[in-house]
Structure 1
Amino acid sequence: MDYLFYFAIVVLGLIIWSFINDKKYQKNLKKHLEREWASYPEEDYNADKMKSIKSFYLTEKDQYLDVDDITWNDLDMDEIYKLMNNTQSSLGEEYLYALLRKPCFSSEELEERNRLIEFFQSNKEERLQVQIKLNKVGKLRKISVFDYINKLGEQKPESNIPHYLMALGLLLSLGYVFINPGIGVGLSLFFMVFNIISYYRYKAKIDNFLLIIAFQLRLLDCIDDLAKISIPSLEPYVKLLSEDLKKFKKFRRGSYIVVARNVSGNLLEALLDYYRMIFHHDLIKYNIMLSFFKKNKDIMKRIFKTVGFIDSMIAAASFRDMVEYYSLPQLSHTKANPKLSVSEVYHPLINNPVANSITEDRCTLLTGSNASGKSTFIKSIAINAILSQTIYTSLSKEYKANYFTVYSSMALKDNILSNESYFIVEIKSLKRILDKSKGDYPILCFVDEVLRGTNTLERIAASSRILATLAKENALCFAATHDIELTYILENYYSNYHFREKVEGNQVLFDYKLYKGRAVSKNAIKLLNLLGYSKDIIIEAENAADQYMKTGEWSIISDN
């Protein structure tokens, strides 16, 4: 009896210690969430992590309306996503990625997103409560929860008879200790080792699926917790989740002993792990739960999406509080004569960015020297168009525009695997934009140095016709170019803007401000002087440039 008393004392002590440890974890978590709000989230990303994050989007992909891979990479949207990813669960981070890839064309949906974002911005305590609940659901580092929920639905439950026999063998051996201690202890050790080895052999086949089952159980617990706190702004979502939760009552019954739900970890969970290894309780329950899950997979998918949406809206709220300033976009469904007006727009990935403004209902050519700001400006417009139609946020003082599909052709490379030259890759990229410009929604497109992969004569001839065709379609195109000739050829279709630089002493200075009209400076020639070129070369180059600007023709160089 003394042994039972001491055993009870130890168990009680472990429970109290675990309770205190959990309270300490909750306190530290709250401090961490407060510290991480409106700052760059602490998250490790590798190729496998990014692959899992993209999985949900790939199941929802739309070939026409979505931000395609070329545009996403051109705009460094992975970095924008990482800047914004202050989510607490795998559901949230996968949903947020998909949301940024899928511009929304519904004003009602965007207004609802904004309602939630503003709520989380303004109500710190309620937001922290929700974040703490979501944090308990956790993030799976190696796999996609959306991907594996589909794979889980394809699994077939195995027989539990071998597990029952192994557990029974161990129990009988333990009982035999009281009859013949020597044999009983030997048999007990044998079955323990045999059961543990068998456990890992079975578990290796379903390890990732057990992770998903555990994730679902933590998710269902989270919904239970959310239903217990009164947050009127979340009531429609909590009500929907609570109704779905009722359908998983049988699924949850007796499940705590199966898989860990507490991502913080404690000593009791460690002891339960040994219990699972010896008695295979989690493997037995897994097969029972799998049969139930297969019948209710669609409901669980709906739960995944609802919770993922809430988590992603919290991340969007944190992003808004992080940036210097933002505005709510004013979007129009006018499908003809697309327009865009943006005031003091800036790029979210640049420290101390220079803001610019533009209002246009015509396509636009941007000229200026290298590093003057052309590419950064058009990327800023493109990124803000995407953010406006996803998280209803523009990094500007004002943003007015049509609902657009967004495409770009900018940071292209040779495709070595398919043996395609830069020029082939480029003309394919431009062709996809021309094809998409005939869709139901106006297209907002961005081109950097069109057809740079070929000679000057053919580049100007071909690029001018491609850009003119885009201007005649339902498109608003922003194209950066060094070819001044295009500003004359296309002046009936394109407005002209430029960026400037000036040479002072031994320095080239940029103000990164947008100016109306085509670029007229010859600072590129002046740079020759800084690098010690002869004055004859510089004077002759300036004269040649002046003559071309006047006549549109280059003079032939001769000894005379």
Structure 2
Amino acid sequence: MDSWIYIALLFGIVLAITVQASYSNKQRKVEQLRKIRRSWGKLPEREYEYSEFEQLTHYFRKTRKEGEFAIDDITWNDLDMDSVFMALNATQSSAGEEYLYKALRMPVFDEEVLKERSRLADYFRDHKEEREKMQLLFVDVGKTRKLSLIDYALNLNDLPDSNNAFHYGCIMLIVASIVGFFANIVLGVLLLVGSAIFNVATYYRDKGKIEKYFTCIAYIVRLVKSSERISKEKIPELQPYFDRLAEGAKPLHSLVSDSAYIGPANVMKGSLGDIIMDYVRMFFHIDLIKFNSMKNKIQGHMESVQQMIDVIGQLELGAALASYRETLPFYCHPDFTYGKKTLLQTKDLFHPLISDPVANSINENRCVLLTGSNASGKSTFLKTVAINAVLAQTVYTVLAHNYHANMFRVYSSMALRDDLAGNESYYIVEIKSLKRILDAKDGDYPVMCFVDEVLRGTNTVERIAASTEILKDMSSSGMMCFAATHDIELTHLLESRYSNYHFQEEIRDNDVKFNYVLYSGRATTRNAIKLLGIMGYDEAVIRKAEDTANRFLETGKWTAE
């Protein structure tokens, strides 16, 4: 009778643990769903550290094929594309955010690919239940903390080829010891103790060499499990993606069952079952044997790993894009034109990172030269056009009422600085930056480039002379250059090749007011000396500066009192 009580008590404990685990899992899902719903249609609030951004770049850098165009580091930093990425990053998994980062770095020149990304976004926008179900599944893929998801797979390639012959030999020692019992008990015990000591010692020796790689395999296993779960969903509109997920997971399916044999060798923690399994692993090297076979399988199917990351990333990009579009006051799909003849027609284009931005319109088939006072909006306009050109070819979304333009390769030379480590002056850094743009002009698609204050790092005479010729070169066939300058001389020297636009300001109540509206023609006002007065400089300094500037404008010569 007592035995039945113990059995019932044990059964009750197991049942209670099972119910508790089920309830906790359900509550976790409920909280995840609440978080997903709270964040929908809102800009993400998460901040990233530099190390995290560096980690995010790995998937892009390690899977980019030779010769594929990508936004280079100078342009990416000039446009503050890290912040654009953060505004878009409503993803739930590492696969999603790493794919989104790669997508923004690699503009697409196939409009059908872009339309499919937009179709996914539209589907998730219009199908809340299906979207939330998919987002919960994306959460299960998880986010890595120390490494990029692709690093977990590629790091396994650092390990040399290995086989399990030695570990099978260790198992045979235990078997031989057991057989020895039947011949001689004392001999059998001695053999068993000796083989156990040997197996445990070699276990820790070999396990120490590969311990960190167990985490790599654990993440790949998690990716496979999630891919299999997602691929079983019944959503016809997403079926092609589910088929590709199933295809990627299939050759790695055995990893899921094999992973049960891999666990931490720590007899001081865990349940009784865990402790027993730890000893089994130490004596028989089961996890080392499984590790080698799993590692070899992953190394032989790296394309499958990348396929799963890509497909989950594509789905997540669609959901994140749908959420981002909900934050916008308006947007449009780009209307692309093809060929070497460059064109940009857009109405009410605005910057994605500015709250309450001023929208501007432009209709041009020539290069553009911007003039205007300090802080009037020149640099912001350059970035507005550049960022939207990138968004047009990555997420098929432009922050404007309409946008008609070529598919461009986008370059910039704007926020440069001295390279102290490389012992290079600002001027050297600048001319190298400009040269890389000129070197790119011969390609299958036209270049759209953005230059802020060309050659600001040298003297006036040589700056105007060299700037004129460089900007002429940037106006050649297949290039559309947007340049901002304070050198009014350039607006006259380049007017046969560049259309002039400017921004204005108004000094009112001893303050400078900007409306940030784009106007046609060159700037006719200056505010640098007036700003000295607003900042409290001595009136004599301001008056003499004005007199000197006026004499130059009248005579073309610099003279001082």
1:358-369 → structure 2 map (5 Å cutoff):
358-369=362-373
- CA distance in structure 1 between the aligned counterparts of 2:481 and 2:488, rounded to whole angstroms: 17
1:43-62 → structure 2 map (5 Å cutoff):
43=46, 45-59=48-62, 60=64
Name the residue aligned to 2:238.
234
- CA distance in structure 1 between the aligned counterparts of 2:381 and 2:245, rounded to whole angstroms: 43
Secondary structure at the counterpart of residue 517 of structure 2 = strand
Secondary structure at the counterpart of residue 259 of structure 2 = coil
- CA distance in structure 2 between the aligned counterparts of 1:415 and 1:270, rounded to whole angstroms: 57
Return the offset for 1:118. 1.1
Name the residue aligned to 2:510.
506
Name the residue aligned to 1:265.
none
Output one character per residue of 1:131-180: Cα deviation in whole Å (capped at 9) or x when no partner. Answer: 111111101111122133223245334538659969998xx99xx9xxxx
**Aligned partner (choices 304, 327, 335) of residue 330 of structure 1:** 335
| Count, aligned residues | 536
1:305 paired with 2:310, answer yes
Which runs of 5 or more residues in structure 1 are unaligned? 177-183, 261-267
- CA distance in structure 2 between the aligned counterparts of 1:441 and 1:217, rounded to whole angstroms: 41
1:118 paired with 2:88, answer no
- In structure 2, the CA distance between the partners of 1:534 and 1:21, relative to structure 1 (3 Å rule), is closer
1:486-501 → structure 2 map (5 Å cutoff):
486-501=490-505
Name the residue aligned to 2:133.
129
- In structure 2, the CA distance between the partners of 1:346 and 1:203, relative to structure 1 (3 Å rule), is farther
Name the residue aligned to 1:29.
32
Output one character per residue of 1:401-447: Cα deviation in whole Å (capped at 9) or x when no partner. Answer: 10000000000011111110000000000011111112221100000
Matched-pair contact (CA < 8 Å) for 1:332–1:403: yes
1:343-362 → structure 2 map (5 Å cutoff):
343-362=347-366
Name the residue aligned to 2:184.
none
- CA distance in structure 2 between the aligned counterparts of 1:348 and 1:369, rounded to whole angstroms: 23
Which runs of 5 or more residues in structure 2 are unaligned? 182-188
Output one character per residue of 1:109-150: Cα deviation in whole Å (capped at 9) or x when no partner. Answer: 111111111111221111111111111110111112213322
- In structure 2, the CA distance between the partners of 1:302 and 1:393, relative to structure 1 (3 Å rule), is same
- In structure 2, the CA distance between the partners of 1:461 and 1:529, relative to structure 1 (3 Å rule), is same
The one-letter code of the counterpart of 1:24 is Q
Which segment drifts farther, 55-64 or 320-329?
55-64
- CA distance in structure 2 between the aligned counterparts of 1:279 and 1:371, rounded to whole angstroms: 71
Query: TM-score of the superposition, structure 1-length normalised?
Result: 0.87
Name the residue aligned to 1:393.
397
1:9 paired with 2:12, answer yes
Return the offset for 1:99. 0.9
- CA distance in structure 2 between the aligned counterparts of 1:427 and 1:229, rounded to whole angstroms: 54
Secondary structure at the counterpart of residue 512 of structure 1 = coil
1:380 paired with 2:380, answer no
- In structure 2, the CA distance between the partners of 1:537 and 1:12, relative to structure 1 (3 Å rule), is closer
Matched-pair contact (CA < 8 Å) for 2:373–2:525: no
Return the offset for 1:491. 0.9
**Aligned partner (choices 447, 450, 470) of residue 451 of structure 2:** 447
Query: TM-score of the superposition, structure 2-length normalised?
Result: 0.86
Secondary structure at the counterpart of residue 428 of structure 1 = helix
Return the offset for 1:302. 1.9
Matched-pair contact (CA < 8 Å) for 2:153–2:220: no
- CA distance in structure 2 between the aligned counterparts of 1:310 and 1:34, rounded to whole angstroms: 18
- CA distance in structure 2 between the aligned counterparts of 1:481 and 1:50, rounded to whole angstroms: 32
The one-letter code of the counterpart of 2:330 is Y
The one-letter code of the counterpart of 1:252 is V
Output one character per residue of 1:261-296: Cα deviation in whole Å (capped at 9) or x when no partner. Answer: xxxxxxx99887656644435444322322333333
Return the offset for 1:226. 2.1
Return the offset for 1:541. 4.8
Matched-pair contact (CA < 8 Å) for 1:405–1:443: yes
Which segment drifts farther, 540-549 or 372-381?
540-549
The one-letter code of the counterpart of 1:394 is V
Name the residue aligned to 1:467.
471
**Aligned partner (choices 87, 90, 105) of residue 86 of structure 1:** 90
The one-letter code of the counterpart of 1:73 is N
- CA distance in structure 1 between the aligned counterparts of 2:332 and 2:531, rounded to whole angstroms: 40
Return the offset for 1:376. 0.7
- CA distance in structure 2 between the aligned counterparts of 1:271 and 1:403, rounded to whole angstroms: 63
Secondary structure at the counterpart of residue 441 of structure 1 = coil
- In structure 2, the CA distance between the partners of 1:308 and 1:212, relative to structure 1 (3 Å rule), is farther
1:238-317 → structure 2 map (5 Å cutoff):
238-256=242-260, 258=262, 277-280=278-281, 282-317=287-322
Matched-pair contact (CA < 8 Å) for 1:153–1:297: no
Name the residue aligned to 1:179.
none
- CA distance in structure 2 between the aligned counterparts of 1:311 and 1:136, rounded to whole angstroms: 13
Name the residue aligned to 1:180.
none
Matched-pair contact (CA < 8 Å) for 1:258–1:276: no
After superposition, the CA RMSD in angstroms is 3.3
- CA distance in structure 1 between the aligned counterparts of 2:13 and 2:420, rounded to whole angstroms: 65
- CA distance in structure 1 between the aligned counterparts of 2:377 and 2:466, rounded to whole angstroms: 25
Return the offset for 1:5. 4.8
Matched-pair contact (CA < 8 Å) for 2:155–2:216: no
